[in-house]
A and B are shown apart, each in its own frame.
Chain A
Amino acid sequence: MIDSLSLPLLISLIGSIFILVLGGLRARTLSIISVILLVIPLISILYYTPQALSGQFVISSSLFGNQIPYLGSFSFYLSRLNIPFVYSILIITTLTSLYSIRYMEKRFEEIEREGGRGSWGVYYSMYNLFSSSMLSLVMSTNYIELFLFLELALLSSFLLIALYGYGNRRRISLMYFVWTHIGTLIFLSGVLLLDIFYGSVNIITLYGNTDIGIIPVYDSIPLAGLVSFLMIFGLLFKSAVFGFHIWLPYAHGEAPTPISVLLSPNLVGLGLYVITLIGNLSFPSIFSSNAYPLLFLALFTIIYGGMMALSQRDFKRFLAYSSISQMGYMLVGITTGALYSPHISPSQALYSLPLGTLASQFVYVSHAIGKSILFMIAGNFISYSGERDIYKMGGIYSSSPLTSTLAFLGFLNLMGAPPTVGFWSDFLTILSVGQATFNEISIFIPGVIMLIIGIGITIGYTTNAFRLIFGGENKGFKFDERKARESLIYVAIIAFMGILFFIFPSTIVPTYLFSVLPESLGQIQLNGLSLMLILIPLLPMVGSAVSLLSSKKLNESIRGFISSLTIFLSAIFSTYLLISNESVKTSIPWITSLGIDFSLRINGLVSIIASLVSWVSFLIALYSIGYMKEDRVLRRYWAYFTFFVGSMLLTVVANNIALFMIGWEGTSLASYGLISYWLNDRKDQWVGIEGRKVLGLELSSSPTKSGIRAFVFTKMGDVGLVSSFGVLLYLQAHYGLINIFSFSLDSILSSYKFLLLNPSALIVLIIGILGPLAKSAQLPFTHWLLTAMTGPTPVSALIHAATMVNLGVIFLLYFSPSIVSYSYLNPGITGSFFLIVAIITSLTAFYTATNALANNEIKLVLAYSTSSQIAYMMAVIASTAAVSSFLGVNGNYVVLNAGILAALIQLISHASYKAALFMNAGSVIHLTHSRFVGKVKNLLNVQKALFVIMLLAGLNLAALPPLLGYFGKESVIGTISYSLNFGNYSLPPLILLVVTSGLTSFYIMRLIGKTFLYNSGEELHEVGKGDLTMLLPPLIIVLFTLIAGTLQLINGSIVSILEKFAGVNVELIENSLPQLITLSLALVGVLVSISIYFIRRVDFSNSFRKGALKLIDDFLYSGWGLNAILDYAGSSFGFLANNAYKVIDLSFFDGVINNGFPYFSRKFGAIIRRVQTGLLRDYLTIYIIGLIILIGFIALMSVLL
């Protein structure tokens, strides 16, 4: 009977009806009653949660005594399986109840103006009924019981839409009801069949009179396939996956906003929750053996929902379509979960889940949080400014910073970016796709490709909406967030939950992972060194939080110094660890149930990189203080800046792939934020030449668009990387001895062994390298780095010199030794993989260098050069790895080690000259207020010091001795040419790289010459002294390279220090022929360039505008056409999405089904009603005819049967 688990739920349900009677009370009072009724179940749930978390499942006794004949027992349960849903619903419904008051007050006023009347009693009664039905639904233990609550939730939400919705609310509410009602009834048909065949429809039931729960498995009943098909098919309507989705945009878009908050984040996902029950508990083997079609439906839903969201103008409709896409993610998790563990027993499914199922729970939670934040903000816009059209909004970021920040956090949850719980949903979903589909390579490839597209679109539509709503110029949209202060408190609480659940994911999703190896045994290993190690990535993160949360009134220089200080401390610690030359590992128990600890490690190689990153970042931070002085509020700037550095350092020192990816994704996010830092999109912050068209397209980009491009490009690559990790997890469990897997970096590295045993290894390796290639802006992902120049110049310096772009190199530094060490298993695959990478990267080096020749934007030339110089590092590692692989077991690791060392030298020298060049470029732009070269007269005369520093940095890039850059390039070329001794594999990369060095020295001298010596614009009158913080950091760096280069020239000490710390021991080959050619080409480049641009100062700009030369110029300017093609593809994708929306959703679903069907029914009804003539004669005729037909039917049947 009724017990302490079921009673509160029943009180909550019945109480909601009772509110109806209390309609006369004040709204505030009613809202308090409503909250109390919602919280009552929380108390008992909280009480039972520890028990449920410990792995038992709590089940109330049957509500109506024993089993009801043919139906089974109705009770409620709580276990690890439904805790995420239970708590999400409780959090969102309670806060939304409070949010409702202000919103519905306004809504009622509107309704009264239309001639209607609002009733608080009805509103809160239905609201609570809706909320408590959802809660009861996820705790139901019986399919009929579950259906009952599905219908109650439907009915109450229907009424709320019909009464208080917007637009054509009467039609829409009806449409909502009919569509989902058809779905639930089809589900019911399946349940009824189950009932007939099995005699009860319990999901979970008690064993006899004991407390032991049992889960009936229906896999073996007759027609189990049909039964489960009907049930799932019906629920697909409810979950609004593609083809069943058309009611959702209307219902969620036009519902009163608090109801949208419940519908979209909470209710839709519950359909999929029920599918989880069907798939994991009731029909495990049938579901897992038929999950592929569902997987592809889900993947398509992600893409389709995203495309539809992209083409919406209405904010709420946009959010509604995004829900469809998110449901796709959830279904992907459910299906991959089932596919990975077809033989997990249902009772086990209540305690520990496969990765995919876990991912689906995270998607539910993150979607609930993200979408409720955004709906609440959309609601604020509606009630305080009456605007819903995204295209009429804009520029809110400056007037309403809190709203913008919260909305951004909401979007992050949907994008799956840290620091929100969305990261876990995204990360686990991608992993699970790799993990679950790899054994069917024909599923794996299209699956991953669709996921890459889907996630790309998701990032695209979310960031695009953020850009349109919050960025840009204000177009007359008036919104004062002070009026909405109360509601922002609730939004902020939810947003905070999103961050909290990111840090402590197992508090909301009891992540008990099926077959995972715990990383440590729960012991904290702390000593001085490991504490330092932890502080290296953590301090900048703290700095980030401080900058964001500190008062607006704080002096910006102080904020800058605090931020710089945190980075400085990281730098000190890194250097200390470098000098102490110890390998340190640390591991703090974190998400033990997921086998993920906060585990970091540092060794010689890692500490070199960490020191480099932190020191360069520190100098750039110092420089920023001066550079950004003119801006008033820099909270956002410093928050992103330090977050960027922290994320980068985290990736560098992470010892498991979860932390590795958190940092990795963090850099994507931070770069997005910083590239689109100038959210108002002022024209002078753009890149590209206005009015210059190639192939009919103006190759320019605004800051906000550039940010999106960077995020989309890098994220799409990351999907490849993570899904390859997923494959490695699968292989660990599959080939490993104990059938379990682990997230630790060591296990991942060693599972490349299993990968190389597999014939499909090459595909996985190539999919995996997409992430590093995208991050390092290698072909075909170069485009984003160029447009990334819209960010403030220090940011460009940061991205290029110290952080994100180097991640591709870091990946190869960390991963290639392992892959090569297993190359004996399959030298062909590893060798060709690395050769492909070597060719791609060396081609990039050449490609971007040619593009740099035809550009007159200072920063753009430097961006091209970054892509080019990074390519040197990747190429040298890849080509030496290729050679080592082809040599197989007898391989000479000296070759790879030499490659690694060469890449390190190049990494350090590139960081130094690129940081200096960018900082100087920033100073130039500061002075001239133009991003183009030679726009101001007299620059050389007034800025001699700047010129000298810039020239030295330029010569460093040009690789002339005795600067450090020379050694970087020489060792790269030398190493590759040395590797030629073992085979001619790396000849093509070598040739490309040698030629590129000549181009490099030419374009950089051209840039400097044109910047300082060409005079085409106004006279530069006032020149300040120049901020010391802006001049000092580049000077320090240039001096460093000069000294280091000289030292190296004298006794080779730099290389030997690096050798010592990196733990590699190689002899660099000096004075080989290619090196000499490189040096001479560099010299030639410098000399030719100087003679043209310094001495003769030829202006080619007119001669390049004509005839064939123009073609060549355009070709180079547009990145061999690639940039133009990508831009074109981007804009035509928008066009495609718009048309798909018109044709599929509006014409077909809306026109044919939503409008056509009722119209047809009415017409048809009117026709057949004509038999009701009112004449007895006619009635009798029909009566007799009917009888005759029945008799004829019998006659026919008796013949047939």
Chain B
Amino acid sequence: MTGEEFIYLITIVLTVPSILLLYLDRKDEEYRYSTVITLSSLIIALVLIIYLPFSRMINSYAFSDNGGALFSIDIVGVLLSIAAIISTIITVTGSLNEVPRWSTRSSFYSLILLTLLGIIYISFLNNIIVLLTSWALSAAASYALVAIKKDLLSTEVSTKYLIMGIISSSIMIYGLLFYVSYSGSLYLGQVLQLNASPLIAVASVVFIITAFGFKIGSFPFQGWLPDVYIAGDRIIVSFISGTVKLIGIATLTRLLYNLSFVVRNVQADTISFLVLALVSSLSMVFGNFTAFSRRNFASIIAYSSITQAGFFFIGFSSFFLAQITNNISLITEAINGIVLQSIAYTVAQAGLFISMHYIEKHTGSLELDMLRGLWFKSPVLVFSISVLLLSLLGVPPLLGFWGKLYLFASVASPIGLWLLILGVINSAISSGYYLIIMREMFREEKQGYKLQNTIEVYSSFISALIIIILGIFTPVIITYVG
């Protein structure tokens, strides 16, 4: 199999079912097939992706042109895709009880598959045009997803999301424009023009992080995020806050990584580093303080994801830091960190929102007081939620720990030390709200409701297992992958 064949294959695996699903919704018996189809296509996609590193395709290019290629089949793309697929699987399994009641149930899975396809393209992207098309694919699908329940609340939040998304898209065009005009090539990492002003490169960095910072919810582009996360349907949010965020993460990783090599100007590198570090610090601090003031599970997780976006930006800023300090190993650390944190973060978000959906269904509320005594109702669920929260907090040996470890390590240099310390302290302080959620669940019970272990609980449990197992074996994986 060649790289091209892989791209065709994955496209087929995901698009065909997404179209097929729309025709399988006339009867409930028929509909059962659609969930099976969705899950199996996801699993096939996962197997395909996991197969990549063991094949000759790894570290190759697909659709090579003279001087460039559309896709770069590398380990970073593989791991980002794995993150996307796993978190999607968790969302889908977690939704199996609820979604069939929706009138738009088929379009839901269909859109999910399409979004996922866009994200996988982006994970491997090596060309600006591919980026634009994939972006259009996944972003459009995600806007539709938010509105899919067709109730007033969904429509309201999806409108906010959509409008801000459109603005971001235009900003993105600018960013890409600057990128291309600086490098002179539509292919990432390729430099054909040599005498452009470094300011153009810097402008490109700023516009790109504005556009995609919106997507991953970094301050001050986070406006839509708490609204959608808190008011949106939990199942949809489990997808939006998990998988969909990878659009931003993967793009920023690809673009900024390549930009950092393209810039070749210390001043521009320094400014870029500072801008990214600034966004990172602001996000961490804003997210932390606001999350601190919340007493609602969903709210806390919503605001904390702004902090998490800040942690990702530590890794992004490290690309430029590595150029300034001429220490390429920092980039490796950053890539390790981003990739591990991507898996840890998306899986945790998906699992957590599924759990929230389940809790809310039984208790009617996600206020912290309502979580009391959950441990005595459903130990499995509480165990899973605790693992996911601790992973977000970065407690070893969970996967989130390794992600943060490498992210922090990626700015461990004299220039980046302040960012490292700021990140570390923010991470420590975040225990102040993550642990409160955990603590409440273990408190003595007050409510009289009953819980059964349904598919949501297992979905959440699976996500916790993934976090634990991948966490324990990260040293092996890192050793193997290099």
Contacts and interface: CB of A to CB of B under 8 A. Distances in A.
A and B assemble together? yes
Interface of A: 63-71, 74, 111, 114-117, 144, 147-148, 151-152, 155, 158-159, 162-163, 170, 173-174, 177-178, 181-182, 185-186, 188-189, 192-193, 195-196, 199, 223, 226, 1158, 1161-1166, 1168-1169, 1171-1172, 1174, 1176, 1178-1180, 1182-1183, 1185-1187, 1189-1191, 1193-1194, 1197-1198, 1201
A1161 B202 CA distance: 34
A71 B432 contact: no
30 contacts: A64-B479, A68-B475, A71-B478, A74-B475, A148-B396, A152-B396, A163-B442, A170-B439, A170-B443, A174-B432, A174-B439, A178-B428, A182-B429, A185-B428, A192-B408, A193-B412, A193-B420, A196-B412, A226-B414, A1162-B292, A1172-B226, A1172-B227, A1176-B160, A1180-B223, A1186-B210, A1191-B203, A1193-B274, A1193-B275, A1193-B278, A1194-B271
Contacts of A70: 329, 332-333, 409
Interface in B170-186: 171
Interface string B289-304: 1111110000000010
A226 B417 CA distance: 10
B411 to A, nearest CB: 9
Contact of B274 (A117, A1180, A1185, A1197): A1197
A162 B202 CA distance: 49
B319 to A, nearest CB: 15
Given A1174-B227, A1183-B164, A1187-B171, A181 B275 contact: no
Contacts of A1183: 164, 167, 210, 214, 220-221, 223
B478 A69 contact: yes
A255 B220 CA distance: 42
B30 interface: no
Contacts of B428: 178, 181-182, 185
B444 A115 contact: yes
Given A185-B427, A1158-B432, A1182-B223, A1191 B479 contact: no
B451 interface: no
Q: Which 10 A-B pairs have the closest CB atoms?
A: A1179-B223, A116-B444, A1165-B293, A1186-B220, A1165-B289, A148-B396, A192-B412, A182-B428, A185-B424, A1166-B293
Contacts of B224: 1179
A1165 B409 contact: no
B378 interface: no
A174 B435 contact: yes
A1045 to B, nearest CB: 79
A1168 B286 contact: yes
Contact of A189 (B220, B293, B397, B421): B421
Given A114-B444, A148-B401, A1187-B171, 6 more contacts: A64-B475, A158-B435, A196-B333, A1165-B288, A1197-B270, A1201-B267
B206 A162 contact: no
Interface string B394-423: 011100010001001100111001001100
SS class of chain B's interface: helix, strand, loop or mixed? helix
A1201 B267 CA distance: 7
A1193 B272 CA distance: 10
B163 A1176 contact: yes
B423 to A, nearest CB: 9
Contact of A68 (B227, B446, B479): B479
B358 to A, nearest CB: 21
B431 interface: yes
Contacts of B223: 1171-1172, 1176, 1178-1180, 1182-1183
Contact of B420 (A68, A189, A1179): A189
A185 B424 CA distance: 6
B290 A189 contact: no
A179 B420 CA distance: 18
A178 B446 CA distance: 27
B395 A1201 contact: no
Given A68-B475, A1162-B293, A1183-B164, A1198 B271 contact: yes
B436 interface: yes
Given A1169-B290, A1187-B206, A1197-B270, A68 B478 contact: yes
A27 B224 CA distance: 51
A1194 B206 contact: yes
Contacts of B159: 1176
A1091 B126 CA distance: 119
Contact of A178 (B227, B396, B414, B429): B429
A162 B439 contact: yes
Contacts of B274: 1193, 1197
B397 A148 contact: yes
Nearest to A114: B444
Contacts of A1194: 199, 202-203, 206, 271, 275
A410 to B, nearest CB: 33
A158 B386 CA distance: 13
Nearest to B282: A1186
Contacts of A71: 475, 478
B395 A162 contact: no
Taking residues whose C-beta sits less than 8 angstroms from the other chain, chain B's interface range is 35 or more
Contacts of A1178: 223
Contacts of A182: 424-425, 428-429
A882 B383 CA distance: 78
Contacts of A177: 431, 435
Interface in B252-293: 267, 270-271, 274-275, 278-279, 286, 288-293
B376 interface: yes
Contact of B206 (A116, A1169, A1172, A1191): A1191
Contacts of B413: 193, 196
B444 A151 contact: no
Nearest to A190: B412
A185 B275 CA distance: 25
Nearest to A13: B397
B160 to A, nearest CB: 5
Contacts of A1176: 159-160, 163-164, 223
Q: Which of A65, A114, A1162, A1165 has the most CB of B within 10 A?
A: A1165
A1 B468 CA distance: 20
A193 B417 contact: yes
A337 B432 CA distance: 38
Contacts of A1191: 203, 206
Given A1193-B278, A1194-B271, A155 B390 contact: yes
A147 B424 CA distance: 14
A764 to B, nearest CB: 44
Contacts of B270: 1197, 1201
A162 B444 CA distance: 11
B327 interface: yes
Nearest to A155: B395
Contacts of A159: 442
Given A147-B396, A196-B330, A1191-B206, A162 B408 contact: no
Contacts of A144: 405
Contacts of A189: 408, 412, 417, 420-421, 424
B364 interface: no
Nearest to B159: A1176
Q: Which of A66, A163, A199 has the most CB of B within 10 A?
A: A163
A196 B327 contact: yes
B167 A1180 contact: yes
A151 B223 CA distance: 35
A185 B430 CA distance: 12
B290 A1168 contact: yes
B482 interface: yes
Interface string B428-459: 11011001100100111110000000000000
Contacts of A199: 329
Interface in B466-482: 475-476, 478-479, 482
Contacts of A1169: 290, 293, 303
B476 A1165 contact: no
A1179 B221 CA distance: 8
